[in-house]
Amino acid sequence: MTKLEIASLRLWYQMPLDIMNHFAKQQGKTSDQICLDVVTYDQEWADRVTQGSKSWSLNDLRHDFVGLVNKEEHFVPKI
């Protein structure tokens, strides 16, 4: 497995399934493909979220994930 695939898998385990499945269905992809897209788009953010023992607010995770999936032009992550 590549570093991106490992980070994607870690993100998949951490994110709520409902939000991943929503975007997967919307974009015609699987939830793991959506996670790989997010990790590819912003690996630094994915590393912050998936490494270490800090727990994140579910609202912050959702906010950031939605912004990164949509590749919003003026998006500022909370994490």
Within a domain: 49: yes
Within a domain: 21: yes
Encoded tokens for 25: 């269905």
Within a domain: 9: yes
Q: Which pLDDT tens digit goes with each residue over 7-44?
A: 999 999 989 999 999 999 999 999 999 999 999 999 99
Tally the domains of the chain: 1
Within a domain: 76: no
Within a domain: 30: yes
3-state secondary structure of 16: coil
Within a domain: 31: yes
pTM for the model: 0.90
Within a domain: 77: no
The domain of 28 spans 3-69
Q: Which pLDDT tens digit goes with each residue over 34-66?
A: 999 999 999 999 999 988 777 888 899 999 999
Within a domain: 61: yes
**In this structure, what DSSP letter does residue 70 have?**
T
